[in-house]
Chain A
């Protein structure tokens, strides 16, 4: 996974040639990384590897030194607040989640769990589970079945620890008008009356986890990327809050924390994933993750689980026997804004 990430700018002269060959539609996925015969440029840039490690060691030393100085010099602070500031210090200097080694990931999970414990006294179950092989998540939405109940929205908000003050919702349910087609401009997503109302049908939108997402291309720090199992995720601690990804998303998939998100302690979902529903902070982006904390444990996302009419279908696109594949092969499916070339993994169909 790491070889696909550009840690820094490198002139991938060798890689470019390989890709030109593959564009002849050989069909087979070439997963073996390019064997780099080092030419002049790569030799120069390879030196940076050592520089990064050197910097890592420097920061490690800095952290230890500063942490020790911080802890020892503070006379007034008690142990808990000293530990808190130490954790905050180390969290500030950690790197991008994609580039972390397993050990670093475990460390940051431990720090986050401990920091929550210090703040509130209760424990959370924070996972950093990786993607399973041979899995590509797909989603289908049955427009005929959706009645506009919004049970999915409620389940999503509870599952993903979203800010209650701003009523952040990843899912929007649009009340569309019969006979007007998919005219979202005239649809209403703030309705509140008995549903289904006559003359309307209902469609839900959320992040579609595109396979060619415009949002990950534009992030200047690569705080958002597409995982191997197709989920587009965000490292909340790496995001700098420039909101370029929000401008780039054609589907209104992303949400920004304009304020500090607050979830009442009793409502916090304690089963969390680092890239999923762990508690976010002010000034970072967040979005639907197909409930990564649930789906990487074999369960369906909360919205799929909650829908009483069964209009939401979820599964593994690479499993030919899955329900999602049956839908794609047997129902007349379409995706939204397909002409934009984003390849969303969220299909719509009608009975």
Chain B
């Protein structure tokens, strides 16, 4: 009697254990497979729908076949148009002793003297625009094209979305910050500062 009942009990337990498999297994072996399988064309919200920016304030960029927007830069520059003051060449303005007006104290801390001078970017006879290495005019709103000359990799990353700051959120049509909104072109390095926070609880815990 004991042997048959024990076999019955054992088989019950066995069946029970086999049935109770762990959780629901996903149909995909890993995350990348899942992403590839489930990708669909996703319509991001247009600028008008987003209601965050004034459409007139945005400039469309098309770089490496990627389209996105940046904010208009020209209408935020305090003393645009530059030609209101810059009627003569810069060298002349500096020596003529017109006094310390506006941005007299801009020092250039960008690369070295061999690489960069004021005229590397600014067009002497047309201060309302910038100039490329080959002398072509570049509008101030598209100043990233200047940066692109040396920092091609960063601009590529920026166009893709891996570099720089996103302003629009993930669902809205993309609005990014322009290079110069984070990197002062005359002194582009990111500055040191103190952290925003001190973790006193963690410090006492870890003692």
Contact = CB atoms under 8 A, between A and B. Distances in A.
Nearest to A30: B27
A154 B197 contact: yes
A201 interface: no
Interface of B: 19, 21-31, 33-35, 37-42, 44-45, 50, 66, 153-154, 157, 160-166, 169-172, 174, 177, 182, 190, 192-203, 206
Contact of A150 (B34, B39, B195): B195
B193 A304 contact: no
B193 A194 contact: yes
Interface of A: 4, 11, 13, 15-16, 19, 22-23, 25-30, 134-138, 140, 142, 145, 147-151, 153-154, 166-167, 169, 173, 189-196, 211-212, 217, 295, 298-300, 304, 307-310, 313-324, 326-327, 330-331, 343, 345, 349, 351
A52 to B, nearest CB: 21
A195 B195 contact: yes
A195 B197 CA distance: 12
Nearest to A296: B171
A195 B170 contact: no
Given A150-B196, A150-B197, 4 more contacts: A29-B38, A167-B202, A194-B193, A327-B160
Given A153-B196, A195-B195, A315-B170, A211 B161 contact: no
B206 to A, nearest CB: 6
Given A29-B37, A136-B38, A167-B202, A195 B182 contact: no
B163 A310 contact: yes
Given A309-B182, A310-B177, A326-B162, A351 B24 contact: no
Q: Which of B23, B66, B193 is most buried by chain A, counting CB atoms within 10 A of its CB? A: B193
A327 B161 contact: yes
B171 A298 contact: yes
Nearest to B200: A167
Contacts of B195: 148-150, 173, 191-192, 195
B40 A345 contact: no
